[in-house]
Chain A
Amino acid sequence: MSDSFTEHVVLLGKRQSLVGILARPTRSLPDAPAIVILNTGVVHRVGHHRMYVIMARQLAAAGHQVLRFDFSGIGDSSQRVDHLSPVNSCLADIADVLDSLETHHQVKRVVLIGLCSGADHAVLYAHRDPRVVGMVLINPSIPPTARYYFHYIAQRLLRLRNWISIATLRSGLLRRLMTQARYGVLPQSQPDKLTLEGLQYSPYLGQCYREAVRHGIKMLAVFSALSPRSTYRQQMHDAFRGVEFGNALRLEFFPESDHLFTPSRERVRLGAVITDWLAAMSPTSAATESHPRILRFHRAAGGA
């Protein structure tokens, strides 16, 4: 293990049923917020490509306490016994975890980090808890916009296979457009499932972002061009026109990344962006070292 941090198993929540790993820096940054990393879908706290282990260790080495844990029923955590819906179960888990961190580790300020559904859970939760001072939202759900559809359709129409699907009325694109048109007429105000990318949740998500801004929560939103959710950098602003993000939001667009940041060079860049953003939140932060072994590969492969 590194000399700059230590890792500890922690059991969190009222029933000690949430399994987590807490990385603690040997030398903490003064006033640095703790970081809590949320699951992506049903993948356990290690994350795709071991992404969250490496991220947690890098941020801990930079002086932050970092927790990655499994939501109830995911990974190694047992299920809740209160029969909450999947979304509310995750939100209740976040509250339980922040309570445990505050009680046992004196954590009073937290930044939530999530990818995909993890980002969505952060957005839905953050404005409810004054301990949350920041969010790193990696490919969160984002409603489609007219410009998004223009890009999306243009990309699809360049493929012969899609023309065949349209001609035979088996086109997923047609189905999606019809569904979105229906929800555009009938917006919904409460999320009832884990996928929030449709137009029907646009008002509710907008409300969550508006509340987050009102509570002074800083946000870093990262989007990948090769993710099905976003096609251009400003989509966040276009999708939530009623939200005055101002200086609360930093937007980053990764033109060569897929939804899960599969190539390690993209994860290295993502790590650098997150570190830089956190440093701006905590001015005394030191720059984190890049992952030397991953860089070793890219030098060998001639990459960035």
Chain B
Amino acid sequence: MNPLYLGTSERRLFGIYEPPAVKCGRPRAAVLCYPWGSEYVYAHRSMRHLATKLSQAGFHTLRFDFFGTGASSGDPLDADLTGWEGDTESAIEGLKDIAGTTRVTLVGMRIGGTVAAKAAAQLADEIEALVMWDPIVSGAEYLRSMDITVPAPVQMAAPDALAVAEIDGYPLSARMLRDFEAIDLRVDLAAAEQRSLVLVTERLASHEDLERDMPVAGARAALEFVLARCPWREDVALTGAVQVQAIQRIVEWLA
């Protein structure tokens, strides 16, 4: 396990690189994108475990913190989804360099899955496959889950970097609120050209829309359900437990 910094001096990103534990044919590499907010805290252990399992399956892996989150530099109020897409590109470049590959797989959980889908749509030639673990499918649904039912006009019109809400202790800027509200994974998925997997452990209303629209993405995209405990939520009895079934399915699918 190798902790490192990547990106630029203005956007210094913290990441953990793990080399493949076994050598099997051509080098393969995967960039892992975390969730946001308290989901990031509780999912960390499962994401570490996923990286280790991918390493054992022969992948170079790099999991990193988006700008303004975790151990990366920056203020959360200066972050936005476009910037996080750029951070993902930085991580991809960094891992390609380390692993000596020309293409990588993107694996993201929750908002990390949504950002991965956006990045994959922009970088068709560099992304081998895309895995989204319970990605945010609908921005409105995501905001409702954070008790923001309908963003007030004053929130939506506020200056970009002004905090308009605080979600479990994490400040949410007006710009990020607008970014979240605009999320529609179906659009990003339709634009992504890679073999893609949407893995769902918690069924939501938005998944019906996604199921209906999956054919738009063609045979290259799959939607699977592994209904189990969500690793990104605090669970007094199980905090620290790892979501083994979903991790196994992701590794199998990528293998």
Contacts and interface: CB of A to CB of B under 8 A. Distances in A.
A100 interface: no
Interface in A49-105: 49-51, 53, 75-76, 78
B25 interface: no
B225 interface: no
Interface in A1-35: 1, 7, 9, 11, 19, 21
B169 interface: yes
Interface stretch (B66-74, B179-187, B246-254): B66-74
A264 B166 contact: yes
Interface residues of B, number: 35
Contacts of A293: 75-78, 161, 163, 171
Given A9-B4, A46-B70, A293-B161, A75 B44 contact: yes
Interface in B36-83: 38, 40-41, 44-45, 48, 65, 69-71, 73, 75-78
A260 interface: yes
Nearest to A8: B5
Interface size on A, as a range, is 20 to 34
B231 to A, nearest CB: 12
Contacts of A51: 169
A186 B173 CA distance: 53
Given A46-B41, A48-B41, A263 B73 contact: no
B38 A1 contact: no
Contacts of B168: 49, 262
B143 interface: no
A262 B12 CA distance: 26
Contacts, number: 86
A42 B166 contact: no
A49 B3 contact: no
Interface in A226-260: 260
A43 interface: yes
A260 B41 CA distance: 13
B1 interface: yes
Interface in B1-33: 1, 3-5, 9, 12, 14, 16
B215 interface: no
B7 to A, nearest CB: 11
Interface stretch (A131-139, A155-163, A165-173, A294-302): A294-302
Given A41-B239, A300-B162, A267 B73 contact: no
Nearest to B42: A43
Interface in A279-304: 293-294, 296-297, 300-301
A9 B48 CA distance: 17
B164 A300 contact: yes
B206 to A, nearest CB: 27
A121 interface: no
Nearest to A49: B169
A262 B3 CA distance: 28
16 contacts: A7-B12, A9-B4, A9-B5, A11-B3, A21-B14, A21-B71, A46-B44, A46-B65, A49-B170, A50-B70, A262-B169, A264-B166, A294-B163, A297-B171, A300-B163, A300-B164
A296 B162 contact: yes
A218 interface: no
B3 A76 contact: yes
Contacts of A76: 1, 3, 16, 48
Nearest to B3: A9
A44 interface: yes
A42 B70 contact: no
Contact of B170 (A7, A9, A43, A50): A50
- Most A CB within 10 A of own CB, among B38, B70, B166: B166
Contacts of B169: 48-49, 51, 260-264, 267
A291 to B, nearest CB: 8
Interface centre among B4, B12, B169 (most CB of A within 10 A): B169
B48 to A, nearest CB: 7
A43 B169 CA distance: 15
B156 to A, nearest CB: 14
Contacts of B65: 46
A51 B168 CA distance: 12
B240 interface: yes
A79 B45 CA distance: 13
A263 B166 contact: yes
Nearest to B63: A76
Given A1-B12, A9-B4, A300-B163, A294 B171 contact: yes
